[in-house]
Amino acid sequence: MKSIYDITLSSLEEYFLENGEKKFKATQTFEWIYKKRIKSFDDFSNVKKDTIQLLKKQFKFTHLKLVAKTSDTDVAKYLFELEDTNKIEAVLMNHDYGYSLCVSTQVGCNMGCKFCESGRLKKVRNLNTHEMVEQILAIEELEKIRISHVVLMGIGEPFDNYQNVINFIDIINSPKGIDIGARHITVSTSGLVPRIKDFMEHGKQVNLAISLHAPNNEIRNKIMPINQAYPLEELFKVLKEYISKTNRRVTFEYILLEGINDSKECALELANLVKGMNCYINLIPYNETSHIEFKRTPQDKIMAFYDTLKKNKINVTIRREFGHEVKAACGQLRSNYEEAR
C-alpha cells in the first residue's frame, strides 16, 4: 500500500478515472491533505464514503519519526527515522526572505566526494517521494511555520533518485499541493550528465545548482569521483545546452578547501571556465568535521578568491554560514548519531 504523499495530482486523477470516479476528487483529496493538513481519510467531511473506501484501498497516511533536533541562531537540524529505521536529516534556515529547508533525497550517498560527511556512509537506498514530502510537512507542523524555499542538497545525490525527485517537485510545486514556487526550489547535482539532459526537458522553472568545487579535472578527479565518469568538458557541454534551452541561470557551488582549490591560480582558472555563461558562483566556507582531513580556508584567502573572481567580472557570492554549532555539514548529525550508538 502506497503512502498518500507518494502520488502526484495527475496520477491521483488517473487513479480516480480508472475507478469510475470524477477527476475533481483528486483535487479534493490534495486540498484535504496539503491545504488542511488532515491525516485521516475518515476526516474528509465532504467526500462520499465510497470515495474514501477507494482511497483506503490503495493509500495510507505515513509520517517520519523525529529522533533528534539541534539548533542555533537562524538554523535547526532534524534527524528523522524512517519506517525501516534508517535515518535522514533536514536543515531549516531562517533567511530574511523566509524559511528555507534543505532536504535529503537518499539514505547515504554513492558519489564519494572526499570532503562530504554524507558520502562517508554509503548509499543504503533511495528515499521514496513521500519521505521527501514528509520532511517539509513534519517541520512545518513542528515549528508552526510556512516553508517558502526548498533546496535538495541534503544527504544523497538527487539525480541518482531522479523519478522520485521529479515527483516530489511536482507535489510541492502544485498549487493544489504544498504550493512552493518553482523558482523557490533548487536541485543540486554533482554532475550526472544524462540526468541533467533529462532535467532540461522537464519544463519547470526549477533552479539547477552544480557542485563544482574545482576549476580543472586534475583537482576534481581527486576530490569528486563523479568527474572520472563525466569530466568537466562533458559537464560544461551539457550545461551550456541547458542554459540555451531553458534560459535559466546555473549556480556553481564551490566549497573552499585549504591548500586544495583555494589559490589565486584556481580562482583565475575558475573565472576562465565559466566566463560568458549565464551563471553565478556560490563560494562556501568549509564546515570541518572530525572524520575528514580537509581544512577550512582562512577568511583572508576566501576574500582574495572572491576578489579575483569579481575583478574578472564573474557573478559571485559567499554563502552565509549556518550551523557550526548544530553539526550542519551534510550527513554530520546522522553520522555522529550512528557512531554514538
Per-residue pLDDT reduced to its tens digit, 86-118: 999 999 999 999 999 999 999 999 999 999 987
**CATH number for the domain running over 65-340:** 3.20.20.70
Domain residue spans of the chain = 2-60, 65-340
pLDDT of residue 129: 98
Closest C-alpha among 225, 150, 230, 165 to residue 199 = 165
Greater pLDDT, 120 or 98: 98
Q: What is the mean pLDDT of residues 260-281?
A: 98
**302 close to 309: Cβ distance less than 8 angstroms:** no
State the amino acid at position 299 in one-letter form: Q
pLDDT, residue 326, reads 53
Look at domain 2-60 and name its CATH class.
mainly alpha
pLDDT in tens, 175-184: 999 999 999 9
- Given 102, 109, 266, 330, which residue is catalytic? 330
Task: Out of 89, 117, 131, 134, pick the active-site residue.
Answer: 89
| 234 in active site | no
Mean pLDDT of 14-40: 96
* 122 band by pLDDT with thresholds 50, 70 and 90: confident
pTM of the predicted structure, to 2 decimals: 0.93
Q: Name the band, by pLDDT with cuts 50, 70 and 90, for residue 32.
A: very high
Output the pLDDT for position 333. 58
Q: Examine the residue annotation and report whether 89 is marked as an active-site residue of this protein.
A: yes
Quickly tell me which residue has 553539526 as its cell: 327
Give the pLDDT confidence score for residue 58 in this predicted structure: 96
Do residues 119 and 294 lie in contact, with contact meaning Cβ atoms separated by under 8 Å?
no
pLDDT tens column, 126-169: 999 999 999 999 999 999 999 999 999 999 999 999 999 999 99
Look at residue 320 in the predicted model and tell me its pLDDT. 82
* pLDDT tens sequence across 193-250: 999 999 999 888 999 999 999 999 999 999 999 999 999 999 999 999 999 999 999 9
On the question of pLDDT at 172 being above 50, the answer is yes
pLDDT digits (tens, 9 = 90+) for 276-329: 999 999 999 998 876 788 999 999 999 999 999 999 999 999 998 765 555 545
Tell me what pLDDT residue 235 has: 98
**pLDDT for residue 12 is more than 90:** yes
Location of C-alpha cell 554530520:
332
pLDDT surpassing 70 at residue 56: yes
